[in-house]
């Protein structure tokens, strides 16, 4: 149980285009999802917290107009990288928190984004 | 505020040897502590967690960790390393805001 999927697993896009990454909780309802960014050989950096039906809360320094997050249902959150640039290339990981369990997060397999 | 310190970036052990990965934390509230493992180009898998109760927690794949409040530590151990244990390991803490704060991670290599 508690499986989280991400799609796509990797994507290459041209500079200036937008790309959408999906995060789904497959067998549970997730009232809260988190989006992280990970640079090579580094730790995970929390980008934003996404609550179903409300606006995402972004961490300091994260551009909310560049990284659009939508959490339209209890099983789906999306991250859209708008007007992507090479510096946005990274590994993006989502996690989902089970409703009623405030401390435990289940992680997706990650999405590798390369902007050329 | 909360933080996690994982000293060193790389640990190398021989197959069959003891694995010890250190983690110290700082938290203004009673912490929940986690160890995650990450294999290349994959997400994070939960190894074990401490929330309340018994301070020695056992996880998957033979790993265990002991919460020591007096030392603000949550070190990860495994009695006998296996080649398949080679991966990146992250210690994390969550507090009142339920956000996870990760350590910088440590790479475990296992020599045959």
- Residue with the bigger pLDDT between A51 and B74: it is B74
Say if the Cβ atoms of A112 and B49 lie within 8 Å: no
| pLDDT confidence bin for A102, thresholds 50/70/90 | low
Q: What are the Cα distances from residue B112, in Å, to B9, B61, B79, B89?
A: 20, 18, 16, 20
Q: Which residue of B has its CA nearest to A49?
A: B99
- The distance of B30 to chain A (nearest Cα, Å) reads 12
pLDDT digits (tens, 9 = 90+) for A40-49: 888 899 999 9
**Minimal CA–CA distance to B26: which of B50, B1, B54?**
B1
pLDDT at residue A81 above 70?
yes
Rg (CA), chain A: 13
Question: What average pLDDT does this structure show over A74-84?
Answer: 95
| pLDDT for the residue B29 | 83
| pLDDT for the residue A62 | 95
Most confident of A50-54, A93-97, B27-31: A93-97
**Residues on chain A touching B100 (C-beta within 8 angstroms):** 34, 44, 46, 95, 105
Q: What is d(CA A42, CA A63) in angstroms, rounded to the nearest whole number? A: 20
| pLDDT for the residue A105 | 87
Q: What is d(CA A25, CA A27) in angstroms, rounded to the nearest whole number? A: 6
Share in percent of chain B as helix, strand, coil (round to 5): 5, 55, 40
In chain B (112 residues long), the average pLDDT of successive 10-residue segments reads: 90 97 91 93 91 92 95 97 96 83 95 96
- How many other C-beta atoms can be found within 10 angstroms of the C-beta atom of residue B33? 22
- The distance of B63 to chain A (nearest Cα, Å) reads 19
**Minimal CA–CA distance to A25: which of A78, A65, A64, A84?**
A78
Beta bridge partners of A24: A5, A76
pLDDT at residue A100 above 80?
no
Q: Which segments of chain A does DSSP mark as H helices, in order?
A: none
**Residues on chain B touching A47 (C-beta within 8 angstroms):** none
| pLDDT confidence bin for A1, thresholds 50/70/90 | low
Q: What are the Cα distances from residue A64, in Å, to A31, A46, A57, A58, B74?
A: 20, 13, 9, 7, 35
pLDDT at residue A103 above 80?
no
Cβ(B57)–Cβ(B65) under 8 Å? Answer: yes
| pLDDT for the residue A92 | 96
């Amino acid at each position: 149980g508690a499986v989280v999927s991400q799609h796509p697993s990797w994507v290459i896009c041209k500079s200036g285009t937008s790309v959408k990454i999906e995060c789904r909780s497959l067998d549970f309802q997730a009232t809260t999802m988190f989006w992280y960014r990970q640079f090579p050989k580094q730790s995970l950096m929390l980008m934003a917290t996404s609550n179903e039906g409300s606006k995402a809360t972004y961490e300091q320094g994260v551009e909310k107009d560049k990284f659009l997050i939508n959490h339209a249902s209890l099983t789906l959150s999306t991250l859209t990288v708008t007007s992507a640039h090479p510096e946005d290339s990274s590994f993006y990981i989502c996690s989902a928190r089970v409703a009623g369990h405030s401390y435990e997060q289940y992680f997706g397999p990650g999405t590798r984004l390369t902007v050329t | 505020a909360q933080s996690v310190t994982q000293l060193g970036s790389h640990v190398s052990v021989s197959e069959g040897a003891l694995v010890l990965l250190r983690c110290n934390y700082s938290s203004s509230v009673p912490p929940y502590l986690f160890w995650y493992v990450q294999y290349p180009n994959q997400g994070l898998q939960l190894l074990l967690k401490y929330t309340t109760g018994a301070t020695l927690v056992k996880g998957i794949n033979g790993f265990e960790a002991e919460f020591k409040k007096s030392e603000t530590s949550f070190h990860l151990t495994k009695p006998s390393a296996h080649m398949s244990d080679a991966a990146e390991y992250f210690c994390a803490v969550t507090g009142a805001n339920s956000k996870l704060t990760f350590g910088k991670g440590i790479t475990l290599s296992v020599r045959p």
